[in-house]
Amino acid sequence: MKKLIFLTNDDGYQSKGLLSMRETLIKAGFEVVTVTPDRNMSGTSHSLTFTRPLKIVKLEENFYYVADGTPADCVHLGLNVILEGKKPDLLVSGINTGPNIGNDVFYSGTVGAAREGTLFDIPSIAFSVGSSKNPNYPEIAEVGLKIVKAVMLKGLPKGVFLNVNIPTIPKNQIKGFLLTKQGRSAYKEEIVKYLSPSKEEYYWIGGEEALLEECQPGTDYTAVKEGFVSITPIKLDLTDHLAIETLDKENFLSEIMRF
């Protein structure tokens, strides 16, 4: 029986990265159910929609989009409505049209979808390219397939998903795969101010390519910059357990009680 992969993204159902990954997974012999937003939903992180109804639209067999839905909405509805609670063997999010490194993991809808899959206790992987400049998505999907097969075979620790960034270079020039830590990150924030014809101010929040000086050895960004595939394990539990011990030793709670 074929292994079932749930495929989603944050760039919408027409994304070249998504379509390349879908084709590659199907050719590799997997059953692939694809549920995506209807358009680019980058930067939506792990948000779920509670303030309006959502509509599922079927494009073709095993391929759907959620009108006005976030990536996490797509996972939530895909698992509970389309698959009717049937648990896939793996969730794949991407391939994203740009990198998701460093602090991007807090904003990224691609990563948010993988996090949502992990909440459902499904092994999950978020795939992104190291640069948005002319990525060869079919080749990148072939590289990603190696990681998919490894996770299918070995599994992942409970409560952990993988954030993968693949360099935008020819496949035969990739130096290998590295387990990395989340970098500090990485974008030089840019806010552009505009004036409307009625002289009203409005703003566009964007970013530029990651800056080398922000990187440290062993991080996601450094790995990609040096031509390696970065594989960063991300856990659901964000608690800083060492900080709990430190605050306890410093009698932090006793200080609160003094006020």
The predicted model gives 226-243 an average pLDDT of 96
Q: What is the mean pLDDT of the segment spanning 224-244?
A: 95
pLDDT band at 188; cut points 50, 70, 90: low
pTM: 0.90
pLDDT reading at 190 higher than 80:
no
Q: Which residues pair with 169 in a beta bridge?
A: none
Q: Is 45 annotated as a binding residue?
A: no
pLDDT in tens, 66-78: 999 999 999 999 9
pLDDT, tens digit (0-9, with 9 covering 90-100), for 238-252: 999 999 999 999 999
Tokens, residue 66:
């959620």
Only one residue has tokens 């640069």, namely 131
User: Looking at residue 213, what is its pLDDT?
Assistant: 44
Please tell me whether 240 is known to bind a ligand.
Answer: no
Query: Do 164 and 128 contact (CB within 8 A), yes or no?
Result: yes
Instruction: Please check the confidence at residue 92 and state whether its pLDDT lies above 50.
Output: yes
Q: Which residue has the tokens 């496949």?
A: 171
Annotate the chain with three-state secondary structure.
Answer: CCCEEEEECCCCCCCHHHHHHHHHHHHCCCEEEEEEECCCCCCCCCCCCCCCCCEEEEEECCEEEEECCCHHHHHHHHHHHHCCCCCCCEEEEEEECCCCCCCHHHHCHHHHHHHHHHHCCCCEEEEEECCCCCCCHHHHHHHHHHHHHHHHHHCCCCCEEEEEEECCCCHHHCCEEEECECCCCCCCEEEEEEECCCCCEEEEEEECCCCHHHCCCCEHHHHHHCCEEEEEEEECCCCCHHHHHHHHHCCHHHHHHCC
163 is in an annotated binding site: no
Instruction: Kindly tell me if the per-residue pLDDT of 212 is higher than 50.
Output: no
pLDDT beyond 70 at 176:
yes
Instruction: Give the residue extent of every domain in the chain.
Output: 4-185+211-257
State the fold for domain 4-185+211-257.
Stationary-phase Survival Protein Sure Homolog; Chain: A, (3.40.1210)
Q: Is the per-residue pLDDT at 9 higher than 90? A: yes
Residue 42 is assigned to a ligand binding site: yes
Q: What pLDDT, on a 0 to 100 scale, did the predictor assign at position 113?
A: 97
